[in-house]
Amino acid sequence: MGFFDRLKSGLTKTRDNFVSGLDSLFSGFSEIDEDFYEELEEILIMADIGVATTDRIIEDLKEKVKEQKIKEVSVCRELLMDTIKQQMKVDETAYEFEHKTSVVLMIGVNGVGKTTSVGKLAGQLKAQGKKVILAAADTFRAAAIEQLTEWSNRAGVEIIAGQEGGDPAAVVFDAVNAAKARKADVLICDTAGRLHNKKNLMEELRKINRIIEREFPEAYRETLIVLDGTTGQNALVQAKQFAEVADISGIVLTKLDGTARGGIAIAIQSEMNIPVKYIGIGEQIDDLQKFDADSFVDALFEKREEEQ
């Protein structure tokens, strides 16, 4: 199965409820009235798209229907897809860090696939001919350093690590200096994600940021938050908490290969105005791909019979 087919199957759970709801909506209404919009609102909220984002989508849809003097309910489906695609478009400049000497900070709670995403991204950049160094700054989670070391071997990139339980900021300091000395193109830092111990975690992230700013001010900065696509609205809550202390520039949405609640991608991008830059759908090194709004929305809206 290709990436798009696996994405489609990963979004099955969201799509089955979503599409069947849309199908009955579009076949059950003969005119576009307030009842139609109310029912559509309910379907979008149930798909984890969230209240604020749903309001925005419906307002946009109403405007287009009025402007284009649309009377047929069926035309609304295409308009709805276009509206969501427009909201989720990722600008070409979103991947600027790939073309500059940069430091990428990977943040997010434990268990979301952060270390795996670091490894996959390193593998992709190495395949582009970049010199990549990894910093194992998640020193608190047992086996995080071993896991990242394994990924560094798989990707064929260097890793800078300290001791388990050591100071993460010290690891980042060493890694920044190694990156400068070895003229690395990209330094990717894995960080700890203990959100239950929020105060310490956030202080740690601030300290890491200060070190990068002081030691490597000329480096382009990219901060990616890794979120688990199966957790729905909880992922949005996490993103908001991390945004309090980190200047998040992009989202990596993982685990879209199982019971993913795909609507959350739309909600996060819309509510936080932070683009989803990568999506992950498996364990292989090439199972992390740049986000494509058209493919994602098509996979979300596709009818079951078209998949046969």
Q: Average per-residue pLDDT in the chain?
A: 87
The first and second tokens of residue 73, run together, are 């309910």
CA distance 281 to 256: 5
Q: What pLDDT was estimated at residue 257? A: 67
Return the H-helix or E-strand segment holding 71. none
Ramachandran region, residue 58 (left: φ > 0; alpha: ψ -120 to 50; beta: rest): alpha
The first and second tokens of residue 85, run together, are 């695609």
Q: Look at residue 240 and tell me whether its pLDDT is greater than 60.
A: yes
Q: 118-134 in b/e burial notation, b at 16+ Cβ within 10 A?
A: bbbbbbbbbeeebbbbb
- Give 128-174 pLDDT, tens digit per residue: 999 999 999 998 887 889 999 999 999 999 999 988 888 999 999 99
* Three-class secondary structure of residue 255 per DSSP: coil
CA distance 308 to 252: 30
Top-confidence residue, 184 or 298:
184
The first and second tokens of residue 263, run together, are 């609507």
Return the H-helix or E-strand segment holding 226. strand 220-228
Q: How far is CA 271 from CA 99, 118, 229, 233, 246, in A?
A: 28, 25, 16, 12, 17
Q: Look at residue 52 and tell me whether its pLDDT is greater than 80.
A: yes
Q: What pLDDT was estimated at residue 187? A: 98
- Residues 150/283, Cβ–Cβ less than 8 Å: no
> Cα 282 vs. chain centroid, distance in angstroms?
14
Radius of gyration of the chain (CA): 21
Q: What is the reported pTM?
A: 0.88
Q: Give helix then strand counts, H and E, for the chain.
A: 13, 8
pLDDT (average), residues 252-279: 82
- Give 56-76 pLDDT, tens digit per residue: 999 999 999 999 999 888 888
What is the band of 8 on the pLDDT scale with cuts at 50, 70, 90?
A: confident
Q: 188-213 in b/e burial notation, b at 16+ Cβ within 10 A?
A: bbbbbbeeeeeeebbebbeebbebbe
CA distance 194 to 202: 9
The first and second tokens of residue 248, run together, are 């998040």
Kindly tell me the burial class for residue 294, based on how many C-beta atoms sit within 10 Å of its own C-beta (0-12, 13-18, 19 or more): exposed
Strand 186-191 relative to strand 220-228, pairing:
unpaired
Q: What pLDDT was estimated at residue 185? A: 98
* Three-class secondary structure of residue 220 per DSSP: strand
DSSP code at position 197: G
- Only one residue has tokens 């276009």, namely 82
Return the closest-CA partner of residue 271 out of 52, 28, 13.
52
pLDDT (average), residues 87-102: 90
- Residues 146/190, Cβ–Cβ less than 8 Å: no
Ramachandran region, residue 183 (left: φ > 0; alpha: ψ -120 to 50; beta: rest): left
Q: What pLDDT was estimated at residue 237? A: 87
Q: Look at residue 308 and tell me whether its pLDDT is greater than 50.
A: no
Q: What pLDDT was estimated at residue 161? A: 94
